[in-house]
Structure 1
Amino acid sequence: MTACDRPPCDGTVTATGYCDTCGRRPAASTAGATPPSPSPPTSDRTADVPSRASAVLSTAGGGEMSLPDVSVLDPSELVDDNPRPPKDGRRCGKDGCDETIGVGFGGQPARPSGYCPRGHPYSFEPRLHRGDLLGGQYRVEGPVAHGGLGWIYLARDTQLDDRPVALKGLINANDPTALSVAEAERRYLTALDHPDIVRIINVVTWRDTGYLVMEFVGGRSLRELVTRRGQERVLGGPLRLEHVAAYGCRILDALDYLHSRGLLYCDMKPDNVIHHGDRIKIIDLGGVRRIDDHVSNIVRTRPYLPDEELYHDSEPAEEHGERRPRVTKLSDLYTVAVTLSELVEAAVPGPPVAQDSFRRLLDRATAVETGARFATAAEMSTQLRGVWREIHSLSTGVPHIARSTVFSPGADPLDAGLGAVPPPDHEASEPDLAPPAPEHVALRLPVPIPHPDAPAAARELLTCATSLALGDLDAAEEGLLRACRLLGPAIARHDWRIAWHRGLLLLARGDVQDDGAIQRLLGISPGARPRARDWFEAVCDALPGEPAPKLALGYCAERAGEPEVAARRYEAVWLRDPSDGAATFGLARARLAADDRAGALAVLDQVPPHAPHHRAARLAAVRVRAGWRGERPPTAEEFRHAQELAGQLTLDGGRTEGQERARLAAEIRASALRALGVGALAPDELAPGPLFGDPPGERRLRKLLEASLREIAEGARTREEHAALIDRANRVRPWTRF
């Protein structure tokens, strides 16, 4: 036995060829292995892309996507001393027979053996019994469960400290489908090596029947989690939405591994995923088939892979003209989505925005048009990972920052002036809380990374973006049309980059709909998506785990006068990444619009020092504290904090005096003078200091404000601006007798 060479594992490689700690083969022994060659992709939509799933879930326990630790039962306790036919029977399968076998009639229990209604013999009786020794090594203890095609037996490896192993044989030796599947398992599956897929250790023969020897997984199937009682039994508490997302990412990681080796799983369902310890294991590999195999019978379970999916894009058989079933990578992703849907229904509801994101992800994976679905397991996993971050951040308040794989970050915080020094002609005692202009937002939202599979269309989208930046909206529209034609309507209709640029164009036009040429080209009714908001919704449908479309939707809701809706969208982005400037200022404006000054300040105060907009957030916090909200003045405490924070700001390049400091001081002093004028504050309630004087008072405050305005007037850009500032200074100066 040798030491495992997979860092950071410190286990030992046993006689089985696998590590006794991490459960994997040594890296050196698998480096030169040649997996089955994957079949060529049938279209650009299903082409393989480099897998990101393995990097996403590189750790099993611990880490940001850790699962609850599920206790593992003593394997001997799972042995069934009275094995019976599988519940609800099985399909016969003999010579294509669809009759059901193994069910009782007239209230009688099902017979373990007999004949189907068409006369085909069947038997569900276990063929192994306690004490049988297979391969001179594996001693049987008894059956523990039955899968779709075979009994699972518990055995002990007598050559390895009686370690428990699982033996899988045929559930019905007369079933040709089962026979072919067993052969496929022996041929392909012994080479698989993935931590979330059950490991095939050996193949042994007993009385002319082959049995797979697998690692024994003694956990609980996800099927148990569809009831609250099962959740308590397995998890010790309720199933949460973030658990479901973690399950999904691990399942997709395993399927991405299979797909990269030219294999499909086909039969994903909650029963076939075991939660053991803090890991999962996909079991029952009986349905695995090559991607290019369009002949073998398909192992499936309704409704995880519906009939209409089986025959989608199938071709007539040569002999009789009947349609031949075909499954693809998209079919596997469909089964994952249906599996997760069951668990989502059983889970405790998550935060509304995150629940909506999860629903969008499942809807895309099961869309009627296959062109709208995720093309790869890695793509779906990336979005589900983003949904998990959203769930966890909204539930716990813990940030989960990650760089987007499809958007470049936006450089503009879209603060609409809230985080800037007031302009020289600003006379109000409150900052302007209007959202930024739509034409400005259209140029400052995050930029999509160019389309990797369609360089010609990517160039046209770049032309669209460049023309948009130059203000030539007609040229931008033409570039977008050319990109749609290059992709073709079937692809462009579901391409999120097309929808994103369309939304930006409508924003730049002020949401004024044009002649609808793009909608007609895409086969979308001209009135179906009249506003930018509708196109950004389509992007969110396609990329439910991405922050960028939520920023766009938050802005659209803010602009439509829906501060609560805007706040939910902005908050989902801000909690994941407090350094996101657009989310920070958008959420602050939305909370202020809902008359939640404390909530807005909490957002601004939590911007981390390393964020590029930290200074702007500090400046905005000063202005919000010292600003009026309608007829509501700041409190004396808020004025005190504003004075302290203003003194800490770096303004005018670090100088103690200058135009920026004078303009900010003028706004704060005007607000305080207004509060004194209406009796909202007494002079002695203002904290002494450079902004309010020492001691503070109305006369002293008027002199200070006059001085600020005259200093600002010295830097006036025009004669008219200078005159207006001097007039204002004269109006606020304290009265004298002479």
Structure 2
Amino acid sequence: MTACAQPNCTGTIEDGYCDLCGHAASPPAAPPASVPASHPSYGSAPSSYGSAPSPYGSVPFSSPSAPGVSPSSPVTVPSGSRGSAPASGRGTLGTGGSRPGQLGSGLAEVPPVVYRDPMAVVLQDPQVPEEKRFCAKPDCGRPVGRSRNGRPGRAEGFCPHDGTRFSFTPKLREGDLVAGQYEVKGCLAHGGLGWIYLAADRNLDGRWVVLKGLLNTADAEALAVAEAERRFLTGVDHSNIVKIFNFVRHREPGAEAGRMAGYLVMEYVGGESLHDQLRRRLRESGNTEALPLRQAIPYALEILRALGYLHERGMLYCDLKPANVIQVGRELKLIDLGAVRMASDQDSPIYGTVGYQAPEIASSGPSVASDLYTVGRTLAVLSFPFSPVRGGAEAPLPGLGELPPAVRYESFHRFLLRATDPSPAARFASAEEMADQLLGILREVRAAEDGMPYPAPSALFGPERIPAGTAVAARGEGRILEPLRRAASAAALPVPLADPADPGTAFLSGLTARTPGELITMLGSAPHTPETLLALARLSAEQGGGETGGLLARAARELPGDWRVLWTRGVYALVAGDPVEAVRIFDRCYDLVPGECAARLALAFALECAGDAGPAAARYGSVWRTDRSYVSAAFGLARTLMAVGDTDGAMRVLDEVPHSSSHFVAAQLAVVAGSVRGRDPAALDAAALAGTGERLADLDGLDPRQRREMAAEVLESALDWLGSGAGSGTRAASGPSAGALLGTPFTERALRRELERLYRELARAAATTAERYALVDRANASRPRTML
């Protein structure tokens, strides 16, 4: 054991971290020389990353009276079915069987792990180090077999605290034949119920299998009951879960008369555990880097596939941690099914690992929510240097600002916080819901790392409707883009999808072409269902209707805990002119659906309306990088960048609006305006002005009046540049268009003639007499000087 180097700390280094203060070792701690090189597959090695001391890295909670599922409580988060689309979204969780070789969901290339020859990992000298020896009795777990007065500890004996017999020596030897079928080849690792062995199945041409202890007893009936209780594991058939082939009994050599041992027979998985991958990465980086997010998130997605499969069949895994997950090739498998139990089981001891186990386990028992909690903790441990245990208790997650820059994604941090919320009711409701949000975060991460979007349809929201804030401001307003209008932002937000099981959903789908007023009238007389009520509340909120509050109160009663009611409250606050309240509400929605672009867009709208340009820009940027179909995000990011003085950055964003977008022309027009409006004439040059003119000339479908107005603005900027003296000499003739701007020679006289012509054409089409007079005055002021 290595002592912690922190001042005044008496802890020891465990897997690179102190088990008392939680600080990383410096330099990184290597595995103790006395620890045998165990195979990572079948049951935790004698310790697990960051776990408290126990027989196999797990702490049993013996609570026969604890229910198999968490007690019911008011739902405060979405149920997973409400507001969700059919399984055709951006990559829904297929729990019926994981796709072999699809680790990464097509979004990330995860390095494969080479299959390991089982004979190469058999231990040559199987021993359990003294510091890993603990009493196996669930309510004891204290150290046994330790050295005293310079004498080595006993590998076999009795616990001095409660008299429980212990033995850390292998009971099976090479060549032993178990159940007349399985030929033992050696030890792989030591788990909570003894040694784990490699064997060859003689009945199936020597197929490699693993034998893991189930129960030692002299009571044949008790052994039969234990086997029957675990027999359900043989029905588990999922490519992400190790296969249990059989349960067998064997009288161990030298055992007392009638004493039998039970063994699980399971497949051999010759890969590498995530625990070992993580430790290697921490050692190589000096404890500064864990696994990359593009690798850790796909691991979590595959784990969720496996857990979703178990949950659908009424089973709970209970003891997820990196040591219990193995990668081989490009596939992932959950191993060590010793803690798996039926959700209805209220009597069996509960096993878990400190640092990963949900806080309510001891009082309420395991549940789907507690399983998902372990996924969140496991993902945190895999993604950044983080010891899950500090001072013998669970360590809190670090704040967003404390995360390493490579993983400092707000969406990812919010995901971890929801997944590990102390309240089971506040966590994700299902593995499928959790995976869907995590997949959205993976798209965001890949987009940020690769500099290219990764769009996909949402399972919770429809598409952006009409982009908001795309209008170019008039020349005299002192800005490039019109300010965001609250009603327009609400109308642009994607609509949460209706529950397909609601009888009113089919009726609603036929109303999308109506005007808001017509829709409100029709919904008022439509058959009442929760979905028609929620749709009516949303439409009323978008119109700022005074009856919205009452409708939302009714919707909250009929859809308790549905996040879409909260979302609609945010829309109403935004339209009603309370952006601070809208920020609060949409921030909470972002907590609940952290993988959704729509949630970030709504928060960005609210923040911009509240005057917080910087935070709004961060959310707009996240959406725009991930999915270019959210054109409102591009214009919002441009507006907020200009608000903080980054006009060039805003122009680069608008230039990214794709040509296929119906708002490409608006974006390009804004770029033209931003290239000349508010610029210091001396900072311009002929090449930039000529390029701006070419950009304007190439815009097809631009309204003739807008084209003339923008052309006049470009020509005036060119005249200002010439008048500043910056365009004197050879510089004026060095443009790429042979000294021409918008087809006009780049001279003061020619530019003035063209500018005069444009103003007179605009004057002829003016809507009011005052506007016409003003344009005529501009034309007269622009005409070149003559002797007449």
What TM-score range do you get, normalising by the shorter chain?
A: 0.7 to 0.9
Query: Could you tell me which residue of structure 2 aligns to residue 660 of structure 1?
Result: 706
In the aligned structure 1, how far is the partner of 2:597 from the partner of 2:72?
32
**SS of alignment partner, residue 454 of structure 2:** coil
TM-superposed deviation, 1:175: 12
Q: 1:231 to 1:644 in 2, by over 3 A?
A: farther
Q: Kindly indicate whether residue 675 of structure 2 is the aligned counterpart of residue 625 of structure 1.
A: yes
In 2, Cα distance between equivalents of 1:460 and 1:175: 63
Residues 453 and 311 (structure 1), Cα distance of their counterparts in 2 relative to 1, 3 Å cut: farther
How far the C-alpha of 1:346 sits from its partner, in A, is 2.0
Q: Where in structure 2 are the equivalents of 1:574-723 lying within 5 Å?
A: 574-629=624-679, 633-651=683-701, 658-682=704-728, 683-684=732-733, 687=737, 691-723=741-773
Shift of 1:301: 2.1
Query: Per-residue deviation at 1:434?
Result: 5.1
| Residue 104 (str. 1) matches residue 176 (str. 2) | no
Distance in 1 (alpha carbons) for counterparts of 2:351 and 2:500: 34
Indicate how the Cα distance of structure 1 residues 198 and 671 shifts in structure 2: closer, same or farther if over 3 A, else same: same
- Mapped to 1, the partners of 2:426 and 2:769 lie a distance apart of 60
Give the C-alpha shift of residue 468 in structure 1. Answer: 2.7
**Displacement of 1:103:** 4.8
* Counterparts in 2 of 1:103 and 1:535: CA distance versus 1, 3 Å: farther
**8 Å Cα contact 2:376-2:419 kept in structure 1:** yes
Amino acid corresponding to residue 441 of structure 1 in structure 2: S
Contact 2:681-2:720 at 8 Å conserved across structures: no
Of 450, 456, 462, which aligns to 1:408? 462
Equivalence for 2:422: 368
Question: What's the offset of the Cα at 1:388?
Answer: 1.3
Could you tell me how far 1:367 is from its partner in structure 2? 1.4
Partners of 1:172 and 1:302 in 2: how far apart?
Answer: 26
Question: How many pairs were matched up?
Answer: 652
The percent of aligned pairs where both chains have the same amino acid is: 40
Unpaired segments of 5 or more residues in structure 1?
1-37, 313-325, 513-529
Unaligned runs of 5+ in 2: 1-67, 252-259, 387-401, 505-528
- 1:304 aligns to what SS in structure 2? coil
Q: Distance in 2 between matches of 1:555 and 1:470?
A: 17
Q: 2:93 aligned with 1:53, yes or no? A: yes
State the partner residue of 1:17.
none
In the alignment, does 2:450 pair up with 1:396?
A: yes
1:334 deviates by: 0.9
8 Å contact 2:216–2:261 — kept in the other structure?
Answer: no
Cα pair distance change 1:181/1:98, threshold 3 Å: farther
In structure 2, distance between residues paired with 1:637 and 1:174: 93
Report if aligned partners of 2:745, 2:751 keep a CA contact under 8 Å in 1. no
* 1:385 equivalent in alignment to 2:431: no
Supply the AA of the counterpart residue of 1:547: C
How do residues 517-596 of structure 1 correspond to structure 2 at under 5 angstroms?
A: 530-559=580-609, 562-596=612-646
The CA distance in 1 between the partners of 2:706 and 2:360, in whole Å, is 67
For 2:488 and 2:416, how far apart are their aligned partners in 1? 34
| Structure 1 residues 144 and 40, CA gap change in structure 2 (3 angstroms) | closer
Contact between 2:590 and 2:600, CA under 8 Å: does it hold in 1? Answer: yes
Partner of 2:536: 463
The verdict on how the C-alpha distance between 1:350 and 1:730 changes in structure 2, with shifts beyond 3 A counting, is farther
Q: Who is 2:195 aligned against?
A: 151
Conserved 8 A contact 2:486-2:577 = yes
| Structure-2 change in CA distance of 1:486 and 1:232 (3 Å) | same
Conserved in 1, the CA contact under 8 Å of 2:103 and 2:298?
no
Structure 1 pair 544–150 and aligned structure 2 pair: CA distance change class (3 A): farther
Counterpart in 2 of 1:498?
Answer: 565
Contact 1:157/1:164 (<8 A) preserved: yes
TM-score (structure 2 length as normaliser)? 0.74
The Cα shift of 1:356 comes to 2.4
Aligned AA (2:245): I
Tell me the secondary structure at the aligned position of residue 618 of structure 1: helix
* Alpha carbons 2:540, 2:548 under 8 Å: kept: yes
SS at match of 1:140: strand
Establish whether residue 65 from structure 1 lines up as the match of residue 119 from structure 2: no
TM-aligned CA deviation for residue 273 of structure 1: 0.9
1:9 alignment counterpart? none
- DSSP 3-state at the match of 2:319: coil
Aligned residue type for 1:342: V
**Which of 525, 549, 554 is the equivalent residue of 1:482?**
554
What residue identity is the alignment partner of 1:480? L
Partner Cα distance (2:769, 2:641) in 1: 39
Please, which moves more after superposition, 106-115 or 479-488? 106-115
Deviation at 1:331, TM superposition (A): 0.9
**Residues 179-218 of structure 1: CA deviation (Å, up to 9, x unaligned):** 6996367411112121111122344443343432222112
User: Which residue does the alignment assign to 2:123?
Assistant: 80
Q: Using the TM superposition, name which of 140-149 and 115-124 deviates more.
A: 115-124
Counterpart CA distance in 1 for 2:354 and 2:702 is: 69
Whole-angstrom CA distance in 2 between matches of 1:507 and 1:232: 50
**Separation of aligned partners in 2, 1:685 and 1:560:** 46
Instruction: Report the counterpart of residue 336 of structure 1 in structure 2.
Output: 375
Q: 1:602 to 1:725 in 2, by over 3 A?
A: same
Residue 358 of structure 1: how far off its partner (Å) = 1.7
Contact 1:83/1:143 (CA < 8 Å) preserved in 2? Answer: yes
Deviation of 1:148 after TM superposition, in Å, equals 3.7
Q: In 1, are the aligned partners of 2:694 and 2:742 still within 8 Å (CA)?
A: no
| Secondary structure of the corresponding residue to residue 168 of structure 1 | strand
Give the AA of the match of 1:462: A
State the secondary structure of the residue aligned to 1:531: helix
Give the letter for the 2:678 counterpart: W
Which of these residues, 131, 156, 165, is aligned with residue 113 of structure 1?
156
Distance 1:106 1:340, change over 3 A: farther
Give the conservation status (yes or no) of the 8 Å contact 1:353–1:572. Answer: no
Matched letter for residue 102 of structure 2:
A
Q: What is the Cα-based RMSD across aligned positions, in Å?
A: 3.7
Q: Distance in 2 between matches of 1:467 and 1:229?
A: 54
Distance 1:181 1:629 in 2: 84
Matches within 5 A, 1:260-409: 260-312=312-364, 326-346=365-385, 351=405, 355-409=409-463
In the alignment, residue 399 of structure 1 is paired with which amino acid?
A: P
> 1:88 Cα deviation (Å)?
3.8
The answer as to whether partners of 1:351 and 1:395 remain within 8 angstroms in 2 is: no
Deviation at 1:408, TM superposition (A): 1.2
Q: Distance in 2 between matches of 1:570 and 1:463?
A: 28
Structure with larger RCO (C-alpha < 8 A, sep 6+): 2
Is the CA contact (8 Å cut-off) linking 1:360 and 1:544 kept in structure 2? yes
Give per-residue Cα distances to partners, 1:556-593, cap 9 Å, x unaligned.
Answer: 44445554433332222122123320222222333344
Distance 1:148 1:41, change over 3 A: same
Question: TM-score, structure 1 length as denominator?
Answer: 0.79
Q: Which string of whole-angstrom CA distances, capped at 9 and with x for unpartnered residues, describes residues 589-641 of structure 1?
A: 33344444443333333333333333333333333334334777543322222
Asked whether the 8 Å contact 2:697–2:742 carries over to 1, the reply is no
> Is 1:131 paired with 2:131?
no
User: Using a 3 Å threshold, how does the CA distance of structure 1 residues 598 and 70 change in structure 2: closer, same or farther?
Assistant: farther
Is the Cα–Cα contact under 8 Å of residues 682 and 724 in structure 2 kept in the other structure?
no
Q: Distance in 1 between matches of 2:340 and 2:656?
A: 50
In structure 2, the residue corresponding to 1:53 is in which secondary structure? Answer: coil
**Structure 1 residues 481, 39: closer, same or farther in 2, change over 3 A?**
closer
Question: Matched residues in 2 for 1:633 and 1:508: separation?
Answer: 41
CA 48–468 in structure 1, closer or farther in 2 if over 3 Å, else same: closer
Q: CA separation in 2, counterparts of 1:88 and 1:435?
A: 65
8 Å CA contact 2:210, 2:268 repeated in 1: yes
- Code of the residue aligned with 2:495 in structure 1: it is V
Aligned: 1:510 with 2:558: no
Give the alignment partner of residue 219 of structure 1, picking from 242, 266, 271. 271
* Structure 1 range deviating more: 152-161 or 448-457: 448-457
For 1:110 and 1:266, locate their aligned partners in 2 and report how far apart those are by CA, in whole Å. Answer: 33
Label 1:69 to 1:383 Cα distance change in 2 as closer, same or farther (>3 A). Answer: same
Residue of structure 2 in register with 1:438 after alignment = 486
| Change in 2 beyond 3 A, CA 1:138/1:57 | closer
Cα deviation for residue 259 of structure 1 reads: 0.5
For residues 532 and 548 of structure 1, the distance between their equivalents in structure 2, rounded to whole angstroms, comes to 14
